[in-house]
Structure 1
């Protein structure tokens, strides 16, 4: 079965893995599943909140670009206190005196760009491309969050298993030490055998302490990624199906991965920027209308009037600045195209590496099962032979150590296979809440965009609704 970005994964029921030691859980407590961990990480991720805010800012860029297509209305009002002194001749007599007056004015002005060489419409298209690119970056952040949740969950599982394994190993070595001492008392073994068992017991105690420390670190990482400390963790579901070949992984990655789609939108933006730079050389036609009223306080004299004007402006020479902007835009377009090529190569390599890692982990698990089976048989045989005097205590301890190492390797192989499978899903763009069917209310990236794309004014009902939305987001 193959998965692209739109092919949902079904979480199967929890399937027991081929682990050596299971994590014990209390009878009445509900174990936390891998899906629960991913849902919690999705809800509490600061990275997702950060990228959602970035997306909302990009949505507002569309509103700002749309506003340039509309008229600009402005109101002005002012008062002035005027005073001065002067002289005049009245009836052949030189008269001097002062003048004082208070005047007021108010007016309204409307401006509309009738033609701007297509620059304003290009800016709208540019802003929309930025929104589409940012949405893909949000999806990529979502994949990072979910993969981190999988890794944290499986790491806690790994360390739980290792702690339990080392506890069992410690009990077993204590039994061996007790048997060695009993056999020493009756003269069947020497003091050296007892010392060997004592040394191995000290090493086992040290290993258990180290395993407990690693478990604490894994729990802290889990709390940071998922949003709470782990309780009882259930067995993870069966390893998810991914792709059947490396070539398929590479093809899906270069077609469906959000970073690839984001890079494509980046190229489109760079091409639009070239068109915007070209439009800056074209003439601009503006329509302006104004209406105002002026008067003097305490006087019945006042004036009202208005004007309508149509103006055309075109840059002729700006010291070579506009031509330089054109060349820079073209260079940035070439850079974006090269970046798209690099992104395609990197994603293909990353998908191939992830698929190879999955194959290695799968082979390690299969060989680990055989190794544990053989090491267990060998250990039992050596221990039986030791009771008959055909094997030494050191032989028993070495066989037990080989079994311990094999069991620890199998634990890691099972965990690595799970993480590797989800890593493949992330590399092909299929590790999303939608694809995994996590059953969570997902963030709708189009919701805020639909509210602001028409550039509502702050005093409108839609503008007030947006203010309430943002205030609610800020409180979370």
Structure 2
């Protein structure tokens, strides 16, 4: 018998260990959310478009080479001067080719300023992508914890149904012997009906949580492992705010946008100066005639634009002021968000401690009321109310614990620290430099172009 018990214990322990090994962890959920997020894909495409804007700015510094080919025919009437036996019309055809190249030699630095401004916009787009990554990962944490919470709420509701079913059975037995009235039985029946309704509602909330989990991670949750220990936070609110104000992606994005706006002012100022360009033209009449080659320099400047250039400059100045104010406001908002997340986390901590005390007290009250009801000192309604108080206390404690857990990650997100790299997920992360390096020189058909094709194929996979 002892051997059988040992074998049974071994098999049971092995089965539990296997189930635990197969359970989906929070890290698994975060990796799945990172890999399957359409929101990340969308913003990665936005970043690639910004990279191409940088390539377009580089291309504007290069010569533009064009060709033109023309062909034509002309017909002359000579019937008046010709003999009756000659053709009444003369036909003359022509064809020519022209190859031309133009390049801007100097425009007050407009080209280089445009390249620098485009680069700042690329960096701003990268920071925006990091912020989106934070949103995706925070949604995964919230969905993971919510599924676990709803499972526990369902278990509480099921337990409540079992307890009230026992109370109903006890009330009917006591009614049979005349200890309680039909009213007590009806109260227990009503409480059981309400408990079943609450169980159905909890099961519905669990289904909602599962659907949200699927939307975030790309699949329905299976067996979820217990949530791991939360990451460490700074020791004070001031330290957390300092980290956020210094490195939150929203602040960094605003910094690059302000830098780009300052460059746009300088670009607008170049419109008031002259532009020096060069051109080379090569033309050839296909039928006859020598080829001609022309080289020239052009110095041009707008004398009167109807106020357009001045308006563009004023607009760029307003854009600069807007971006600078946006940077200051971004710091304010980030600091406020950290403060709110920190306060909510403190509330969750306090709620957990209060919830533990409430559950302990409610459990003692329920046990006492039930024993007193057996002695006739309490009514069925008293027992049902005590059971409901205990259920509410347990549910509140579970919700507080879930809020505390998610609250830690909300603080990390508010600080700008909730990224795949910061969480050490070990997932191959999106490399923003790879695509930029492939297009920053504005390749057309070259080894760089082939590398770009490989990058696009990898992204498509």
Common fold, TM-score beyond 0.5? yes
1:196 to 183, 187, 205: 187
Which residues of 2 match residues 52-131 of structure 1 at below 5 A?
Answer: 52-85=44-77, 98-131=89-122
* 8 A contact 1:148–1:225 mirrored in 2: yes
Which residues of 2 match residues 161-172 of structure 1 at below 5 A?
Answer: 161-172=152-163
* 8 A contact 1:433–1:440 mirrored in 2: yes
Tell me which of the two structures has the higher relative contact order, counting C-alpha pairs closer than 8 angstroms and 6 or more residues apart. 1
Q: 1:389 to 1:445 in 2, by over 3 A?
A: same
2:307 to 296, 306, 320: 320
1:136 to 123, 127, 134: 127
SS of the equivalent of 1:436 reads coil
Q: 1:96 to 1:87 in 2, by over 3 A?
A: farther
Following superposition, the deviation at residue 86 of structure 1 comes to: 5.2
The CA distance in 2 between the partners of 1:276 and 1:178, in whole Å, is: 85
Check if 1:259 corresponds to 2:245: no
Q: 1:405 to 1:205 in 2, by over 3 A?
A: same
The CA distance in 1 between the partners of 2:109 and 2:118, in whole Å, is: 14
The answer for unaligned runs of 5 or more in structure 1 is: 1-23
* 8 A contact 1:83–1:100 mirrored in 2: yes
Per-residue CA deviation, residues 176-199 of structure 1 (Å, 9 max, x unaligned), is 111111122222222222221111
Check if 1:469 corresponds to 2:455: yes
Q: 1:239 to 1:31 in 2, by over 3 A?
A: same
Check if 1:236 corresponds to 2:236: no
Greater mean alpha carbon deviation, residues 412-421 or residues 372-381: 372-381
SS of the equivalent of 1:434 reads coil
Per-residue CA deviation, residues 132-166 of structure 1 (Å, 9 max, x unaligned), is 00000000000011111111111111111111110
The CA distance in 2 between the partners of 1:29 and 1:197, in whole Å, is: 43
Check if 1:392 corresponds to 2:379: yes
**Count of residue pairs brought into register by the alignment:** 443
Could you say what the CA RMSD is over the residues aligned between the two structures, in angstroms?
2.0
The CA distance in 2 between the partners of 1:472 and 1:87, in whole Å, is: 72
- 1:346 is aligned to 333
Greater mean alpha carbon deviation, residues 177-186 or residues 133-142: 177-186
The CA distance in 1 between the partners of 2:94 and 2:87, in whole Å, is: 23
- 2:5 is aligned to none
SS of the equivalent of 2:346 reads helix
Following superposition, the deviation at residue 271 of structure 1 comes to: 0.5
SS of the equivalent of 1:78 reads strand
SS of the equivalent of 2:343 reads helix
SS of the equivalent of 1:142 reads helix
Which residues of 2 match residues 173-184 of structure 1 at below 5 A?
Answer: 173-184=164-175
The CA distance in 2 between the partners of 1:126 and 1:349, in whole Å, is: 30
Greater fraction of residues in helix: 2
TM-score (norm: length of structure 2)? 0.92
* 8 A contact 1:85–1:96 mirrored in 2: no
1:282 to 273, 276, 290: 273
* 8 A contact 1:80–1:103 mirrored in 2: yes
* 8 A contact 2:20–2:225 mirrored in 1: no
The CA distance in 2 between the partners of 1:81 and 1:28, in whole Å, is: 86
* 8 A contact 1:25–1:232 mirrored in 2: no
Q: 1:118 to 1:230 in 2, by over 3 A?
A: same
* 8 A contact 1:29–1:232 mirrored in 2: no
Following superposition, the deviation at residue 33 of structure 1 comes to: 1.2
Check if 1:366 corresponds to 2:353: yes
The CA distance in 1 between the partners of 2:209 and 2:271, in whole Å, is: 57
Following superposition, the deviation at residue 336 of structure 1 comes to: 1.1
- 1:410 is aligned to 397
* 8 A contact 2:97–2:286 mirrored in 1: no
Per-residue CA deviation, residues 239-284 of structure 1 (Å, 9 max, x unaligned), is 3322322222222222111111101111111111100000111111
SS of the equivalent of 2:272 reads coil
